[in-house]
Amino acid sequence: MKKYLNSFKQIVGAQNMITDPFDLKPLNQDWQRFYQGKSELAVTPTSSKMVSEILQFCNQNNIKVVPQGGNTSFVGGATPVQDELILSLRKMNNILEFDTTTSIVTAESGVILQSMNDYLQTYRYQMPWDLGARGSCQLGGNIATNAGGLNVVRNGPLRNYILGLEVVLPNGKILDLLNKNRKDNTGTDLKQLFIGSEGTLGIITKANVLCAPIPEQRQVFFLELKGFDEAIQLLRSAKQFEQLGAFEFMEGRILQRCLPFNPQLKAPFEFKADKYYVLIEICGQQIELEYYFERLLKHTEQIVFNQNESELQAMWRWRESVPENLHKMGHVLTYDLSIPPDKFEWFAEEIYPERKGPYNAFYGHLGDGNIHYNIIFESVEEMHKEQERVEDKIIKLTKSLNGSISAEHGVGQLKRHYMEIQKGKETFGYMQELKRVFDPNNILNPEKLL
């Protein structure tokens, strides 16, 4: 890379280059610290034109490139495998326009999700997706991973809300797919190819997003349940609620283990190891508290609901703190799967039957069939020893349930080797063919996804 430093300086300027190993360190490492890249250079372009010039130069010189957003990927998607150039979108962080008639926001791809929401709040709108990484993850990273999150049960997947994109292709061409029409039936919808393509086909530089109104009211219920079957019965009832905003599941024994890590946070219950907990959010213009309370009461007598905004935030915090707390409990193998909701508990037990030593922990978006399944080990050696065996079992069992090995986190480096099993030879072949069309020299995010 050293021999190209001057060329990059001419394209982006010294102020948009990171070469100091200390500053590069966090960019070379993924959020979970599973992956370590060896990149010697990161560039932080400030315009689509600059991105275009960088890619054109890289394509001509066969320099591999990793697009990086907020670097919160759970699958090593934004971490270099070798010494690829890191192309960080962090400085392309302008919100360009909000159209109050159509409720469409147009922004550059480096805007942080929380900043999008802060901006939209003035108009009483919000982004239609939400995730725990909202303080760091970026618009472009969210689109490149077709991020899921906490309210898919209400709004559906992210791709429903992306109306237009600007994408820079590996050869440097700027593809203008920007669009503010809700309806556009003019043939193949090319932008869909880039949503969820994890930076392997092009770099997303701008987007038009259809925003969602901020609900007038939000009400959170926290329920304690005797068993997992009760959670499924509850889900069947809750699916009938027109105002269902979220349906999240947690195990009591895991919440108990989270207690020491959340000393400031008031627990809605005294969590019990043999119980199960569900967080339900109801949102809408007007919420009839009694209506929901009565219906939920049929499933359990242990219900707490928030009285004010800070209690609402605290209840959500219990759910949102689970992933980070698991990492404080030990070394975690973590999987993000779609399987039928009623199979969650059975699945966890099948993969790693409870015994002394490592233990499994599952939680997640029960409302849309997305389980976050984890096994926690005391030592990193033990974890690595078990990883391959566990993963083989997970892939086979998920496949046999017609599920997906990646519900929302993407494939990245972590699940790449299982793509052919997941997709089938033929479909996977067409995906690779498509990659060759857009990126014949394979410079964009090599050794990820495909």
Ligand X SMILES: Cc1cc2nc3c(=O)[nH]c(=O)nc-3n(C[C@H](O)[C@H](O)[C@H](O)COP(=O)(O)OP(=O)(O)OC[C@H]3O[C@@H](n4cnc5c(N)ncnc54)[C@H](O)[C@@H]3O)c2cc1C
Which residues inside 322-341 make contact with ligand X, applying CB under 6 A?
323-324
Measured from the CB atom, is 16 or 445 closer to ligand X? 445
Residue from 70, 80, 164, 196 touching ligand X (CB under 6 A): that is 70
The sheet carrying 303-305 orders its strands as: 303-305, 217-225, 276-284, 244-251, 359-365, 370-377, 331-338
Measured from the CB atom, is 303 or 376 closer to ligand X? 376
Which residues inside 256-295 make contact with ligand X, applying CB under 6 A?
none
Name the strand (E) or helix (H) holding 1: none
Burial (0-12, 13-18, 19+ Cβ within 10 Å), 431: middle
Measured from the CB atom, is 84 or 224 closer to ligand X? 84
Measured from the CB atom, is 148 or 164 closer to ligand X? 148
Q: Is 71 in the site for ligand X (CB under 6 A)?
A: yes
Measured from the CB atom, is 150 or 303 closer to ligand X? 150
Residue from 128, 149, 268, 341 touching ligand X (CB under 6 A): that is 149
Residue from 42, 144, 244, 366 touching ligand X (CB under 6 A): that is 144
Count the alpha carbons within 13 Å of 127 in the hemisphere toward its beta carbon: 31
Q: Is 245 in the site for ligand X (CB under 6 A)?
A: no
Q: Is 73 in the site for ligand X (CB under 6 A)?
A: yes
342: its two tokens: 């009623």
Measured from the CB atom, is 74 or 347 closer to ligand X? 74
Kindly state the smallest distance separating residue 148's Cβ from ligand X, in Å.
4
361 and 374 in contact (C-beta within 8 Å)?
Answer: yes
Alpha-carbon dihedral sign for residues 91, 189, 134, 309: positive
One character per residue 389-418, x = contact with ligand X (rule: CB under 6 A): -------------------xxx-x------
Q: Report how far residue 66's alpha carbon sits from residue 232's, in angstroms, rounded to the nearest whole number.
A: 41
Residue from 37, 80, 132, 367 touching ligand X (CB under 6 A): that is 132
Measured from the CB atom, is 89 or 258 closer to ligand X? 89
Q: Is 68 in the site for ligand X (CB under 6 A)?
A: yes
Residue from 86, 147, 195, 405 touching ligand X (CB under 6 A): that is 147
Per-residue burial over 12-45, b = 16 or more CB atoms within 10 Å of its CB, e = otherwise: beeebbbeeeeebeebbbbbbebbebebbbbbbb
Which residues inside 185-224 make contact with ligand X, applying CB under 6 A?
198-199, 203-204
Nearest to 391 by CA among 364, 362, 421: 421
Measured from the CB atom, is 360 or 406 closer to ligand X? 406
Contacts (Cβ under 8 Å, ≥6 apart) of 98: 104, 105, 106, 119, 120, 123, 125, 211
Residue from 106, 142, 151, 360 touching ligand X (CB under 6 A): that is 142
Residue number closest to ligand X, CB atom: 141
Q: Is 170 in the site for ligand X (CB under 6 A)?
A: no
Q: Is 369 in the site for ligand X (CB under 6 A)?
A: no
Which amino acid, one-letter code, is at 303?
Answer: I
Q: Report how far residue 330's alpha carbon sits from residue 321's, in angstroms, rounded to the nearest whole number.
A: 15
Q: Terminus-to-terminus CA distance in the chain, angstroms? A: 25
Nearest to 347 by CA among 406, 407, 390: 390
Count the alpha carbons within 13 Å of 48 in the hemisphere toward its beta carbon: 20
Residue from 11, 85, 137, 235 touching ligand X (CB under 6 A): that is 137
Q: Report how far residue 444's alpha carbon sits from residue 54's, in angstroms, rounded to the nearest whole number.
A: 12
* Number of residues forming the site for ligand X (CB under 6 A): 39
Alpha-carbon dihedral sign for residues 443, 445, 448, 450: negative
Q: Report how far residue 6's alpha carbon sits from residue 388's, in angstroms, rounded to the nearest whole number.
A: 43
Measured from the CB atom, is 44 or 296 closer to ligand X? 44
One character per residue 4-43, x = contact with ligand X (rule: CB under 6 A): ---------------------------x------------
Which residues inside 99-128 make contact with ligand X, applying CB under 6 A?
109
Q: Is 69 in the site for ligand X (CB under 6 A)?
A: yes
Q: Report how far residue 232's alpha carbon sits from residue 393's, in angstroms, rounded to the nearest whole number.
A: 24
Kindly state the smallest distance separating residue 399's Cβ from ligand X, in Å.
21
Kindly state the smallest distance separating residue 117's Cβ from ligand X, in Å.
15
Residue 373's CB is within 10 A of a number of other CB atoms, namely 23
Which amino acid, one-letter code, is at 111?
Answer: V
- List interacting residues with ligand X (CB under 6 A): 31, 66-74, 77-78, 89, 109, 131-133, 137-138, 140-142, 144-145, 147-149, 198-199, 203-204, 323-324, 408-410, 412, 445, 448
